[in-house]
Homo-oligomer: A and B are copies of this chain.
Amino acid sequence: MNERVELLCQLQTMLGEEKVVADPDILEKYARDETPDIVALPEIVVRPETVADVSLTLSFCSKHALPITPRGAGTGVTAGAVPVVGGIVLSLERFNRILEIDTDNMIAIVEPGVITSEIQKAVAAYGLMYPPDPASLDICSIGGNVAENAGGPRAVKYGTTKDYILGLEFVLPDGSVMQSGGKIVKNAAGYNLIGILLGSEGTLAVITKIFLRLIPAPAVTRDILIPFDSIDQAMESVCRLLQHRIVPATIEFMEEEALQLVHRHLHHAIPFPDAGAHLLLQLDGASDDIVAQDMKLLSEQIHADPEHFYIAVTPSQRERLWEARRSIREAIRNESPLFLAEDCVVPRSRIASFVKAVKHYCMQHELRSVMFGHAGDGNVHIDILKGDREMKTWENLVPQIKRAIYHEALSCGGTITGEHGIGYLRRNYLSMALDPAQIELMRRIKRAFDPQGILNPGKVFPEQ
C-alpha cells in the first residue's frame, strides 16, 4: 500500500494531480468493459491529455516494471481493457478531438478517444464517409476500433478498420513516440508497422493519433429485407448476388430462432416473422439511377418472391426494417441475462452448414442458440443462452461449448473470432487456431515492442 501511495505521488508530481486518480469510486469504473463477469480493479488510473503525458507514464511504468492497460471507451467484449493483473489503467478518454478534416485529400486526423459515430457525423457534413460501422459505433472509440480492427455490417463492400488507416502516431512501452504513415495512401518505406498494430489489442503500443482515409459518401442508399424459407436458400442467394457483380454495402442475416425471439420481445409485428431466415441488404451508390440499376440486377438474382421484398425508403421505414436486427441482443438479455457470445468466421459458402452444425450440437446438448451476423463476409454471431441452468453447471459447460463451436469453425476453414479479438476471455483457446510455432513468433514480436511485457499483460497469449 505504501508503495502504491509512493507511485501515485510520483505520477501526480509528473503529470499533475488531476490526471492521476486512486479514488476507489473512480477506479471501480475502470474495472470492467462490456464483457460480462470479468472485473479487476486497477491500482491507479491515469487520464493523459497530451502525447507527452502518455510517453511519461509509459516510461515511468517501464522504469518501475509496472503493468499498464490502455483503455478506449471500454466497449470490448473479450475483457481486453480489464486490468486483469492490476497496475495502472491508461484511459485515452481525453484524447477526444477531431484534429482535422482534410477534404482535398479526403483524410481525417483524429485522436483515439473520439467516438466512432462522431467522426462519421463530422465527415458527413462534407459529403464524406468513414465506412467501418461496428454495432457499438455510438459508444465505442476509434482507438479501440484500431486496437481490435473493428468490422461491422458494411464490411462486405467497404472492408474493416484496417482498410482505412493511413497513419498512426503511437508510443512504445519505453516512452518513445513515433509516427508511421500519414496523409499518404501508399507507403513503401520500411516495414508496415500499421499492419502489425492493427488488431494488436493494446499489447504492442499506445496509439495517440490516427489518420483515417475517407471516401465520398454515397448519395443514395436503399435498404431491403428479404425473407427466405431456409438459411440454405438465403446463403445461396448471397453467393449468387456477389458473383453477379452486385455488392451491397451490407448483407446481414438472421436465422429462425433469432427472428422468433425478437418477434416475442418487441410486442409488435416485425416483417415476415415466420420466415426460416432473413437477409437485410443495403444498396448504395452515387445516384438514384445507379441504385435502381443494382436493384434490378438484385431482383433477377434473388430466388425469392419479389412481392415479399420489404424496401425501405423513408427513415421510419428503415427503422422498422433494422429494428429486429438491432434488438437481438436486448431480446436475448431479456430472456437470459447470462449468455455466451461468440463471433466465429467461416468461408462465406460454409455459413449455412456451419450454422446447421452448431444448431445440431446445441439441440443435442439442450442449449438455446441464436445466430445472426454478416453473411457477406462469413462472420457469424453465435449467442448461447444460459437460461435457468445452475450457475455452476453453466460455468462447467461454457468451455465445452466454446471448444465445440471453435472446432466446427476451424474445420470449416474458418477461425475462432472475426471481430471481437482474443483479449483475456479467449487467450487459452488461441492454440486451437494457431500452432505453437506461430504463437511463439507472436511472442517474439510482442518482445520487439515490449521487452518487459508491461503493456496489457494477460491478454492475447495463452497462460504458460
A interface residue numbers (CB < 8 A to B):
102-107, 127-128, 148-149, 151, 155, 159-160, 162-163, 172, 176, 178, 180, 182-196, 198-200, 204, 215-219, 239, 242-247, 285-287, 289-290, 293-294, 297, 343, 345-349, 374, 377-379, 413-422, 430, 433-435, 437-439, 441-442, 444-449, 460
Q: Is the CB of A192 within 8 A of B199?
A: yes
Q: Is the CB of A289 within 8 A of B286?
A: no
Q: Is the CB of A184 within 8 A of B418?
A: yes
Measured in the bound complex, the distance between the Cα atoms of B309 and A115 in whole Å is 44
| Cross-chain contact of A155 among B186, B196, B374 (Cβ < 8 A) | B186
Given contacts A163-B163, A417-B188, contact A441 B219 (CB under 8 A): no
Measured in the bound complex, the distance between the Cα atoms of B294 and A377 in whole Å is 28
A158 to chain B, nearest CB (A): 11
Q: Is the CB of B183 within 8 A of A438?
A: no
Q: Is the CB of B186 within 8 A of A433?
A: no
Measured in the bound complex, the distance between the Cα atoms of B178 and A439 in whole Å is 10
Query: In the assembled complex, which residues on chain B have CB atoms less than 8 Å from the CB atom of A216?
Result: 242-247
12 contacts between A and B (CB under 8 A): A105-B378, A106-B242, A107-B347, A127-B245, A162-B195, A178-B437, A183-B413, A184-B345, A184-B346, A184-B414, A190-B430, A190-B439
A204 to chain B, nearest CB (A): 8
Query: In the assembled complex, which residues on chain B have CB atoms less than 8 Å from the CB atom of A188?
Result: 148-149, 199, 343, 417-422
A253 to chain B, nearest CB (A): 15
Q: Is the CB of B347 within 8 A of A187?
A: no
Q: Is the CB of A191 within 8 A of B149?
A: no
Query: In the assembled complex, which residues on chain B have CB atoms less than 8 Å from the CB atom of A187?
Result: 345, 415, 417-418
* Max chain B C-beta neighbours (<10 A), residue from A159, A180, A433, A438: A438
Measured in the bound complex, the distance between the Cα atoms of B287 and A294 in whole Å is 9
Using A184-B413, A445-B445, A448-B448 as known contacts, list a sample of 16 further A-B pairs with CB atoms less than 8 Å apart, ordered by residue number in A. A103-B243, A159-B163, A162-B192, A182-B413, A182-B414, A185-B377, A186-B419, A187-B417, A188-B421, A190-B422, A191-B460, A192-B199, A216-B246, A441-B448, A444-B447, A444-B448
Q: Is the CB of A418 within 8 A of B186?
A: yes
Q: Is the CB of A438 within 8 A of B293?
A: no
| Cross-chain contact of A417 among B189, B247, B448 (Cβ < 8 A) | B189
Measured in the bound complex, the distance between the Cα atoms of B460 and A445 in whole Å is 18
Measured in the bound complex, the distance between the Cα atoms of B176 and A439 in whole Å is 12
Query: In the assembled complex, which residues on chain B have CB atoms less than 8 Å from the CB atom of A159?
Result: 163
In the complex, residue of chain B having the shortest beta-carbon distance to the beta carbon of A449: B441
Q: Is the CB of B193 within 8 A of A192?
A: no
Q: Is the CB of A151 within 8 A of B190?
A: no
A267 to chain B, nearest CB (A): 34
Q: Is the CB of A200 within 8 A of B193?
A: no
In the complex, residue of chain B having the shortest beta-carbon distance to the beta carbon of A286: B245
Measured in the bound complex, the distance between the Cα atoms of B187 and A148 in whole Å is 10
Given contacts A106-B242, A127-B245, A200-B191, contact A186 B379 (CB under 8 A): yes
Measured in the bound complex, the distance between the Cα atoms of B180 and A433 in whole Å is 10
Query: In the assembled complex, which residues on chain B have CB atoms less than 8 Å from the CB atom of A151?
Result: 186
Measured in the bound complex, the distance between the Cα atoms of B160 and A419 in whole Å is 23
Query: In the assembled complex, which residues on chain B have CB atoms less than 8 Å from the CB atom of A192?
Result: 149, 162, 195-196, 198-200
* Max chain B C-beta neighbours (<10 A), residue from A160, A185, A422, A433: A185
A151 to chain B, nearest CB (A): 6
Query: In the assembled complex, which residues on chain B have CB atoms less than 8 Å from the CB atom of A439?
Result: 190
A352 to chain B, nearest CB (A): 11
Query: In the assembled complex, which residues on chain B have CB atoms less than 8 Å from the CB atom of A148?
Result: 188
Query: In the assembled complex, which residues on chain B have CB atoms less than 8 Å from the CB atom of A417?
Result: 187-189
Measured in the bound complex, the distance between the Cα atoms of B188 and A414 in whole Å is 11
Query: In the assembled complex, which residues on chain B have CB atoms less than 8 Å from the CB atom of A104?
Result: 239, 243, 347-349
Q: Is the CB of B448 within 8 A of A445?
A: yes
Q: Is the CB of B190 within 8 A of A433?
A: yes
| Cross-chain contact of A178 among B178, B414, B438 (Cβ < 8 A) | B438
Query: In the assembled complex, which residues on chain B have CB atoms less than 8 Å from the CB atom of A377?
Result: 185-186
